């Protein structure tokens, strides 16, 4: 038995080691980042610099203890703790530097000031108004916890961790042969790790999409009804932040209703009615929310929405849409931008360079996946559902993403825990590292008519 396996078989050692490392790194960073923290205190109107940072470190430790108490398998718990230790380190070390780089120009400061400090000017709560909902979330949390900026940032980072875990559990329901190391493959993807740790709309929306993905994956695997309530809650959370996510998440479910192999005829018809009605309601709500009544108004709104992000160092030359034909012709370029840009060299900032490398890796694995996966693999209902979900998302974000490649990185966060594992599995890079049995790889690639990999392989911890 190797040392690594011996450690994982004794999760208590891992827990104590990670807690000790987190405390040591947090205390050291508090003194090393004093100038940065002073600037953050000025921007947020706070004076208790060290109290804020110590409160964030304390919350990180409390969350780690809570994870250690969860009823998970030892290996799974150890990896979740490791992911949280790294994520908390990013929140304590990298985020203050990132925020100081923009000198108060980030949305996070606005959410904090509006929700925690300027309660009298807090706008009326409106479902689907993401900025207002984010400010109210800060307001509700600071009614219970101290109004410390970095403390709230740590709490939002933990919400992002739970979202990542929900995606991981969803993938385990779809591909049960995956082992718990797949959690780290998802959570340590740089864009996911960083942007799910910020104080803002993104971790909350990510949590909603994660609940939806986990609920639908479990429903598809078990046909139990209760996971659909979890998925509905996820749709509600995501739509509360960005209302168009109701349409993005509900519309692809029609695919599962029509081709689900474990559904009887009357069940398919019933699910088609339910999901179809949900998609129609979501589409009407989306159109009413943006006051779209005909094709000309759709073109005008597309111009307005996309141009609202064409600013800053990552802003691009604006595209004018004059007709539906022009919008349709633009879709391929917009879809590529939404999924795979910025590429290295397109934006000069350090964070954009890292995002460009991530996208280059993502694009390369996607090309391998398209090349290696046979078309008959799409006979698997869940795979067709995932591809449809990514396609619908890409169509919705093709137009705003092209105008600002910096915001395109954050937009993509919500589907990265779906896209990244999909191309990783499809390209077989994950399999070649021995994380999934080769027998299971052959089943996944060749047996397109089977809903589950787990028929003869069994679950792996």
User: What does the pLDDT look like over 331-352, one tens digit per residue?
Assistant: 788 888 888 888 887 776 667 7
For 265, list phi and psi in degrees, rounded to 5. Answer: -60, -50
In order, the DSSP letters of 237-282 are: HHHHH-TTHHHHHHTTHHHHHHH-TT--HHHHHHHHHHHHHHHHHH
Residue 209 lies in a domain: no
> How many domains in the chain?
2
Task: Choose among 106, 132, 130: nearest CA to 121.
Answer: 132
Q: Mean pLDDT over all residues of the chain?
A: 76
The span from the CA of 106 to the CA of 14, in Å, is 36
- In terms of domains, do 52 and 108 share one? yes
- In terms of domains, do 226 and 190 share one? no
| Model confidence at 299: pLDDT above 70 | no
C-beta separation of 453 from 443 below 8 A: yes
| Model confidence at 294: pLDDT above 60 | no
CB count in 10 Å sphere of residue 247: 23
Residue 211 lies in a domain: no
**Which of 194, 228, 260 finishes a domain?**
194
Task: Choose among 145, 142, 166: nearest CA to 59.
Answer: 145
User: Residue 417 is inside which H or E element, if any?
Assistant: helix 416-426
- In terms of domains, do 140 and 255 share one? no
Domain that holds residue 225: 216-449
Residue 202 corresponds to which tokens in the numbers above? 């993104």
SS3 letters across 121-132? HCCCCCCCCHHH
Compute the average pLDDT of residues 381-408.
83
- In terms of domains, do 268 and 161 share one? no
- In terms of domains, do 174 and 235 share one? no
Q: What is the DSSP letter of 90?
A: I
Compute the average pLDDT of residues 135-139.
91
Task: Choose among 186, 216, 263: nearest CA to 386.
Answer: 216
- In terms of domains, do 327 and 407 share one? yes
pLDDT for position 99: 77
The span from the CA of 169 to the CA of 83, in Å, is 15
Residue 157 lies in a domain: yes
Whether the upstream peptide bond of residue 122 has omega within 30° of 0, thus cis, is no
Residue 29 corresponds to which tokens in the numbers above? 């960073």
- In terms of domains, do 262 and 372 share one? yes
For 333, list phi and psi in degrees, rounded to 5. Answer: -65, -40
> Residue 175, SS3?
coil
The span from the CA of 336 to the CA of 430, in Å, is 24
- In terms of domains, do 103 and 221 share one? no
Per-residue pLDDT reduced to its tens digit, 55-95: 888 899 899 889 988 888 888 888 898 899 889 988 888 88
Per-residue pLDDT reduced to its tens digit, 147-203: 888 899 999 999 999 999 999 999 999 988 888 888 999 999 999 999 999 988 999
């Amino acid at each position: 038995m190797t040392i690594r396996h011996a450690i994982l078989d004794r999760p208590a050692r891992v827990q104590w080691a990670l807690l000790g490392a987190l405390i040591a790194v947090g205390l050291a960073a508090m003194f090393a980042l004093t100038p940065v923290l002073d600037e953050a205190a000025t921007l947020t109107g706070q004076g208790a610099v060290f109290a804020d940072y110590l409160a964030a470190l304390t919350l990180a430790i409390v969350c780690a203890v809570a994870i250690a108490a969860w009823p998970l398998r030892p290996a799974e718990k150890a990896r979740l703790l490791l992911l949280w230790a790294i994520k908390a380190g990013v929140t304590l070390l990298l985020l203050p530097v990132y925020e100081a780089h923009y000198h108060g120009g980030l949305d996070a400061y606005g959410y904090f000031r509006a929700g925690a400090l300027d309660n009298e000017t807090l706008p009326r709560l409106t479902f689907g108004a993401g900025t207002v909902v984010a400010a109210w979330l800060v307001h509700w949390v600071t009614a219970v916890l101290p109004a410390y900026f970095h403390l709230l940032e740590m709490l939002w980072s933990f919400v992002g961790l739970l979202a990542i875990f929900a995606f991981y559990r969803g993938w385990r329901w779809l591909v049960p042969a995956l082992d718990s190391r797949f959690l780290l493959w998802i959570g340590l993807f740089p864009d996911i790790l960083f942007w799910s740790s910020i104080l803002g709309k993104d971790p909350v929306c990510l949590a909603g999409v994660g609940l939806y993905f986990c609920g639908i994956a479990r429903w598809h695997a078990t046909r139990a009804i209760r996971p659909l309530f979890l998925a509905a809650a996820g749709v509600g959370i995501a739509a509360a932040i960005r209302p168009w996510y109701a349409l993005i998440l509900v519309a692809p479910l029609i695919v599962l209703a029509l081709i689900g192999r474990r559904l009887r005829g009357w069940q398919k018809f019933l699910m088609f009615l339910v999901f179809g009605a949900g998609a129609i309601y979501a589409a009407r709500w989306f159109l009413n929310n943006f006051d779209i009544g005909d094709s000309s108004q759709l073109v005008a709104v597309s111009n307005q929405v996309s141009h609202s992000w064409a600013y800053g160092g990552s802003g691009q030359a604006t595209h004018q849409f004059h007709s539906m034909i022009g919008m349709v012709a633009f879709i391929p370029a917009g879809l590529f931008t939404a999924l795979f840009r910025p590429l290295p060299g397109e934006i000069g900032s350090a964070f954009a360079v890292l995002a460009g490398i991530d996208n280059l890796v993502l694009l390369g694995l996607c090309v391998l996946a398209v090349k290696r996966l046979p078309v008959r693999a799409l006979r698997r209902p869940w795979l067709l559902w995932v591809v449809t979900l990514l396609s619908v998302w890409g169509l919705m974000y093709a137009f705003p993403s092209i105008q600002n490649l910096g915001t395109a990185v954050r937009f993509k966060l919500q589907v990265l825990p779906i896209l990244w594992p999909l191309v990783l599995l499809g390209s077989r890079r994950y399999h070649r590292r021995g994380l999934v049995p080769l027998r299971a790889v052959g089943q996944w690639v060749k047996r397109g008519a089977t809903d589950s990999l787990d028929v003869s392989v069994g679950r792996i911890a």
